[in-house]
Amino acid sequence: MSGAILSVNSGSSSIKFGLFDVVDGQPELSARGKLEKIGISPRLEIRDREDATIASREWAGQSDLTHEDLLENLFDWAPDNLPRREIAAIGHRVVHGGTEFTRPILIDDDALEKLDGLCALAPLHQPDNLAAIRAMARLAPGMPQVACFDTAFHATMPAVASRIALPRRFAEQGIRRYGFHGLSYEYVAARLHELDPELARGRVIAAHLGNGASMCAMLDGRSVDTTMGFTALDGLVMGTRCGTLDPGVVLHLVQHEGLSASEAEDLLYRESGLLGLSASSSDMRALHASEDPQAVEAVETFVWSAAHHAAALCASLGGLDAMVFTAGIGENDPLIRAAIAARLEWLGVVVDEAANQRNAQVISAPQSKVAMLVIPTDEESMIARHTLSLASAGV
């Protein structure tokens, strides 16, 4: 296929994208960028493959600009300010594929309507994912667009791991454990196979630790269990999300504190987690820098939650051969990695302190019974691979 691939990862307040040239039949990164602070004061930065800034732009004070507005601005601005690329296809991260979409698809009106029906299952992400698809369809009519689903990687989980213990009529309505961050885990699994095929065939926990955080138990590179479930609220304590919660808490909030459904949703998705515990910030860097006891407790709870869920995933795997840290905190925070590892010492985990401090690829000591690695994730690259494959085949 001639032309470039554009990968789009649209979130609630940012849009990350990557531009990939097709070289010898494979996508090769040309540039990547980010539109951030959407809804506040949007800012664009684009970097080349060497990570040098090649373009930037700001829309100071224009908090009313939507995702579609900014993408339209970018399309109008790009030809005169960036090296010319003929885009052949566009790939999108779509958080929820439900039970029907378990692999990437070429988007059509029917698929888009079905994906709209899943917005209630991922209210923080799905509407923005689909807004980007609609914006691109309007800006580039006829351009092939591919949806790549965060839930798809977990379609290999056994029924016992996806089942929720409610009356079976609810399972028939699609209420089950789906899991998320699948594009990140798919990339990490492929990268680990490149680095160490034997280790990749073993029992591996991948820890995607960022503002949204989860873990995935992988056996031979396939998901067998994960910490997020029916929605992206479940599992680990996150930046603003609560993680695993006794359902009775929600009942209490509604029945005795008078919260409406929308107020409860806002509380659990946007006001909880590190932000709720610290009463100051959802940013791990700010919490590390703070001496406030509540900030310290928030970090401690994050670490406890991560180790607790890692131990549970060991039961699903029947042991542990390797643990891989990825995403913003996982790739860049030695303090958090060391603290989680310390709580897993009973597994035979031993961290090389010097390697951990410099964010080395392998951070486990030679005597460690469990290999500990840091592998930067690249969801945009994974999207580009799927997009190239489907757009080239036309199916």
In the chain (395 residues long), the average pLDDT of successive 10-residue segments reads: 83 83 87 85 87 86 83 73 75 93 94 92 86 88 93 96 96 93 97 97 97 96 97 95 96 96 94 97 96 98 98 97 97 98 97 98 98 96 94 70
pLDDT of residue 349: 97
Look up 64 and say whether it is catalytic.
Answer: no
Q: What whole-number distance in Å separates Cα of residue 25 and Cα of residue 392?
A: 10
Q: Could you tell me the residue ranges of all domains in the chain?
A: 4-149, 197-374
Nearest to 22 by CA among 6, 46, 36, 11: 6
- What are residue 218's DSSP bridge partners? 204, 223
CA distances from 332 to 140, 194, 375, 382 (A): 37, 22, 10, 21
Q: In CATH, what number does 4-149 get?
A: 3.30.420.40
pLDDT of residue 351: 98
The answer to whether residues 301 and 244 touch, using CB atoms and an 8 Å cutoff, is no
pLDDT of residue 130: 92
> CATH number of the domain at 197-374, out of 3.40.50.720, 3.20.20.70, 3.40.50.300, 3.30.420.40?
3.30.420.40
The answer to whether residues 98 and 106 touch, using CB atoms and an 8 Å cutoff, is no
Element (H, E) at 207: strand 203-209
Q: What whole-number distance in Å separates Cα of residue 10 and Cα of residue 38?
A: 11
Nearest to 135 by CA among 41, 45, 31, 65: 65
Sign of the CA dihedral running 71, 269, 205, 247: negative
Q: Do 197-374 and 4-149 fall under one CATH topology?
A: yes
The C-alpha angle with vertex 3 and arms to 97 and 58, in degrees rounded to 5, equals 75
Please pick, among 150, 225, 234, 333, the residue that the annotation labels catalytic: 150
The answer to whether residues 341 and 368 touch, using CB atoms and an 8 Å cutoff, is no
| Residue 154 DSSP class | G
CA dihedral 156, 28, 195, 335 (to 10 degrees): -90
